[in-house]
Amino acid sequence: MDDTLRELRINIGWSQKILSEKSGVDRGTISRVEKGAKIGAVKAKALADALSLAYGREIRPLDIKDLSIE
């Protein structure tokens, strides 16, 4: 997959707030991650799982371009 977290989020019409609500990851964390900050594996999986449900297909954390997992 060649989409960043931001691109995946925007492509389904979600704001950072909506992604935060769906994933349980703080909106501030999402903002920082979209700007290149690292994210823990558990939170990265939560983001990927929320996006997977929205897209109707599996999206793994490693599928998200430029997602820096610590």
Q: What is the mean pLDDT of the chain?
A: 96
Question: How far, in Å, CA of 62 to CA of 18, rounded?
Answer: 22
User: Per-domain residue ranges for the chain?
Assistant: 5-63
Q: Are 39 and 33 within 8 A, CB to CB?
A: yes
Which DSSP symbol is given to 63?
Answer: G
- If one looks up domain 5-63 in CATH, what number appears? 1.10.260
Tens digit of each residue's pLDDT (9 = 90 or more) over 25-61: 999 999 999 999 999 999 999 999 999 999 999 999 9
Tens digit of each residue's pLDDT (9 = 90 or more) over 11-31: 999 999 999 999 999 999 999
